[in-house]
Amino acid sequence: MAEPFALAVDAMGGDEGPRAIVEGIAQAGERHKLARILLVGDASRLTPLLAASPAAASCCTVRHAPDVIDASARVAAALRARNASLRVAIDAVAAGEASGLLTAGNTAAVLAISKTVLGTMPGIHRPAIAGILPSQRGTLVLLDLGANLVCDARNLVEFAFMGDGFARIVLGQAAPSIGLLNVASEPEKGDDRLLRAAEILRASALGAQFAGFVEGHDIIGGKTDIVVTDGFTGNVAMKMGEGALRFSGALLRQALTGGVAARLAAFLMRPSLKRLRQRIDPWQYNGAVMLGLNGVVVKSRGSTDGAGFSRAVAVGLNMVGNNFNDRIREAVSKNVLF
Amino acid sequence: MAEPFALAVDAMGGDEGPRAIVEGIAQAGERHKLARILLVGDASRLTPLLAASPAAASCCTVRHAPDVIDASARVAAALRARNASLRVAIDAVAAGEASGLLTAGNTAAVLAISKTVLGTMPGIHRPAIAGILPSQRGTLVLLDLGANLVCDARNLVEFAFMGDGFARIVLGQAAPSIGLLNVASEPEKGDDRLLRAAEILRASALGAQFAGFVEGHDIIGGKTDIVVTDGFTGNVAMKMGEGALRFSGALLRQALTGGVAARLAAFLMRPSLKRLRQRIDPWQYNGAVMLGLNGVVVKSRGSTDGAGFSRAVAVGLNMVGNNFNDRIREAVSKNVLF
């Protein structure tokens, strides 16, 4: 068999269609020499886009898939769509033709098909979705973002192990600190599930990194490098943080356009405002990852443009290039959790 | 019996002690002619503070209570502390001597003692904590903020009714829109509990105001006037929003102090920055309220200063002055919910 592709990219997922996907690959290719990519989708649309983009064409091989799973598709229908670009791309990962998957498609469909086709990693009961947010520390890994709306203590502990691997491998952190999200930070406060997860973590190989319970304001406040919670709470927290940052950004823009003095101020502040925008941009790390599957799975936001997608390409290549899944598997197998 | 006091104020709760409480009452008194307040706490500390503050002294009557429930007290111990300022103040509400309670004390203790001494309003199964956050719409009522970490459909529906009353009476909104927090906004997505709560709300007297499911970014994004969720998620969401707003505020301060140009810009922007700060200040409405008890109960933040406490005084007086609890009781009794 030929050397595998680094990534199978679902070219049809996402609200902006294949143009944004090809543009994202081209932009990533301008920054880094790219590994080989299997670009899966409607060949009649992909071929002309690649012809117009030498940077993308130089690393992409097209595989035709006639169907598309759209953003509103139900999971059951998505699982039956065997000729959809997302499914063909995941099949290529399962067959060992590509080391990882990258898609901007429907999250529920990506998760369901990945679980079915790739399977869950040995030692892990439930895959989780992890994302990166800005924080006072610089970055913050938050998980689960919605793969598991209800979690038990065991799931939360596994999320901590997977989050640890993600922070070490993708963000290069040496011994990331880990917090368990709660409504109080005192170690004796919490429901049985949280108290049990904390007890297991304290006694685990992550014991020295485990900082106990953290509260909502500690997430962006940067008390720890990683925050672990169930998928319902994590989803709400992430979106709440993004909404709040966008709100303050909108108010700042208003403040900087309200009159001559404000516009002069905006001019004087241009460099520092640019840095500010970059720091609080919730999209700076586009690419949530689905951890705990037999294969690297990176999920870009559906509404991404080319620039956003190029960041997800970088996350995917980084994970694949660093043998992310082998290292997580090894870490989990060394720490028999239960 | 003499005309009741408008509020019984626990003068010993809060991290800053009775000085901040008396200062807050004085500040509120400078803005509005205050109704009569029963100030409960250590008389040997309160008497000199009032002697030094004519604005507070003119509306306050001191009632001595020798003990204090501190911020770390366990609920069981708090329930036994019959001579603590918080308990004596709640007893005064229960006895009809005061129309409402205001405290900056330990939230768990306030909730437990209020439930025990005042009891839960007829027709309501679980009291809830509601708070006000800034949003794109101006303000947002979020509940529950932590009184009930796990909720069933019935609890969520009751929270919607109580939140509706709060938004109408305290914020003066005519027909506030109501969202039920979820990880997706499609009406068919969600667990049984959320689907059931949505079904009941649609068929209820609030049906026309019910906007269906909202997501985390819709909270500050201002999709609805009221967002209803369980106490765990609400607590995390509120603190996440506050943390994010504080983070962007800190970055903006950095941007405005980094060099001569930035400092000149800051000078030019002073008025608009002041407005911006006021808009995003998560403390602008200090005073979460405990809804669904037989008595108005307002909880200021523990770490509040006098200015913050004065806002909580205003919330409490507003609720008492508008017969908040009678109106909620009437609304609930007219809508037999289950």
- As given in the structure block, the two tokens for residue B31 are 């803005």
Residues of B with Cβ-Cβ distance to A238 under 8 angstroms = 216
- As given in the structure block, the two tokens for residue A245 are 């940052």
Mutation target to probe the A interface, by most A beta carbons within 10 A, among B194, B248, B253, B280 is B248
In this structure, which long-range contacts are made by residues B114-120, counting pairs with CB atoms below 8 Å and at least 24 apart in sequence?
B114/B90, B114/B290, B114/B293, B114/B295, B114/B297, B115/B293, B116/B79, B117/B87, B117/B90, B117/B91, B117/B93, B118/B90, B118/B93, B118/B94, B118/B293, B118/B294, B118/B295, B118/B297, B119/B293, B119/B294, B120/B292, B120/B293, B120/B294
Across the interface, whether the CB atoms of B241 and A243 are under 8 A apart is answered yes
How far B260 CA sits from the closest chain A CA (Å)?
Answer: 9
What is the pLDDT of chain A when averaged over all its residues?
Answer: 90
- Closest residue in A to B282 (Cα–Cα): A244
Query: Which segments in chain B show pLDDT lower than 50?
Result: 338
- Do B266 and B133 belong to one domain? yes
Would you say residue A338 has pLDDT above 50?
no
- Do A115 and A133 belong to one domain? no
pLDDT value of residue A123 = 84
- Do A245 and A218 belong to one domain? yes
Would you say residue A313 has pLDDT above 60?
yes
- Closest residue in A to B267 (Cα–Cα): A265
Across the interface, whether the CB atoms of B216 and A245 are under 8 A apart is answered no
- Do B333 and B270 belong to one domain? no
| Higher pLDDT, residue B230 or A258 | B230
At B75, which CATH number?
3.40.718.10
Mutation target to probe the B interface, by most B beta carbons within 10 A, among A191, A236, A257 is A236
Distance CA B28, CA A80 (A): 65
Would you say residue A200 has pLDDT above 90?
yes
pLDDT value of residue B276 = 73
Q: Are the CB atoms for A279 and A171 separated by under 8 Å? A: no
Across the interface, whether the CB atoms of B243 and A241 are under 8 A apart is answered yes
Number of independent structural domains in chain B: 2
Residues of B with Cβ-Cβ distance to A107 under 8 angstroms = none
Element (H, E) at B101: strand B98-103
Judging by DSSP bridges, how do beta strands A178-181 and A226-228 pair with one another? parallel
Q: Across the A/B interface, how many CB contacts are shorter than 8 Å?
A: 180
- Do A191 and A270 belong to one domain? yes
Q: Domain of B304? A: 1-124+292-338
Q: Which of A254, A261, A268 sits opposite B262 (nearest CB)?
A: A268
Distance CA A292, CA A295 (A): 8
Across the interface, whether the CB atoms of A235 and B265 are under 8 A apart is answered no
Q: Which of A135, A255, A276 sits opposite B273 (nearest CB)?
A: A255
Please state, as a whole number, how many other Cβ atoms lie within 10 Å of the Cβ of residue B96.
10
pLDDT value of residue A101 = 97
pLDDT value of residue B225 = 97
pLDDT value of residue A337 = 52
Across the interface, whether the CB atoms of B233 and A235 are under 8 A apart is answered no
pLDDT value of residue B338 = 45
Across the interface, whether the CB atoms of A239 and B275 are under 8 A apart is answered no
Q: Which of B219, B258, B272 sits opposite A240 (nearest CB)?
A: B219
Give the position of tokens 């983009």: A53
Distance CA B243, CA B246 (A): 5
Distance CA A164, CA B198 (A): 38
Judging by DSSP bridges, how do beta strands B296-299 and B210-214 pair with one another? unpaired
| A102-125 burial code (b ≥16 CB/10 A, e <16) | bbbbbbbbbbbbbbebbeebebbb
Q: List CB contacts of B212: < 8 A, sequence separation 6 or more.
A: B179, B180, B185, B187, B198
pLDDT value of residue A53 = 95
The 3-class SS string of chain A reads CCCCEEEEEECCCCCCHHHHHHHHHHHHHHHCCCCCEEEEECHHHHHHHHHCCHHHHCCEEEEECCECCCCCCCHHHHHHCCCEHHHHHHHHHHCCCEEEEEECCCHHHHHHHHHHHCCECCCCCCCEEEEEEEECCEEEEEECCCCCCCCCHHHHHHHHHHHHHHHHHCCCCCCCCEEEECCCCCCCCCCHHHHHHHHHHHHCCCCCCEEEEECHHHHHHCCCCEEECCHHHHHHHHHHHHHHHHHHHHHHHHHCCCCHHHHHHHHHCHHHHHHHHHHHCCCCCCCEEEECECCEEEECCCCCCHHHHHHHHHHHHHHHHCCHHHHHHHHHHHCCCC
Element (H, E) at B298: strand B296-299
- Do B35 and B182 belong to one domain? no
- Do A21 and A160 belong to one domain? no
- Closest residue in B to A269 (Cα–Cα): B262
Residues of B with Cβ-Cβ distance to A217 under 8 angstroms = 239-240, 242-243, 246
pLDDT value of residue A266 = 78
Instruction: Report, as an integer, the average pLDDT of A226-253.
Output: 91
Going along B120-255, which residue ranges are E strands?
128-135, 138-143, 178-181, 210-214, 226-228
- Do A257 and A298 belong to one domain? no
- Do B3 and B52 belong to one domain? yes
- Do B260 and B296 belong to one domain? no
pLDDT value of residue A148 = 93
A82-111 pLDDT, tens digit per residue, is 999 999 999 999 999 999 999 999 889 999
Across the interface, whether the CB atoms of B244 and A239 are under 8 A apart is answered no
Across the interface, whether the CB atoms of A248 and B250 are under 8 A apart is answered no
Residues of B with Cβ-Cβ distance to A246 under 8 angstroms = 217, 220-221
DSSP 8-state symbol, B291: E
| Higher pLDDT, residue A250 or B81 | B81
pLDDT value of residue B281 = 65
- As given in the structure block, the two tokens for residue A219 are 């997430």
ipTM value: 0.89
Give the position of tokens 């508008």: B322
Dihedral of alpha carbons B183, B188, B193, B197, sign: positive
Q: Which of B186, B239, B280 sits opposite A248 (nearest CB)?
A: B280
pLDDT value of residue B32 = 77
- Do B103 and B145 belong to one domain? no
How far A319 CA sits from the closest chain B CA (Å)?
Answer: 27
Q: Are the CB atoms for A85 and A65 separated by under 8 Å? A: yes
Distance CA A21, CA A19 (A): 5
- Do B115 and B142 belong to one domain? no
Residues of B with Cβ-Cβ distance to A180 under 8 angstroms = none
Distance CA B197, CA B202 (A): 9
Q: Which of B72, B216, B249 sits opposite A237 (nearest CB)?
A: B216
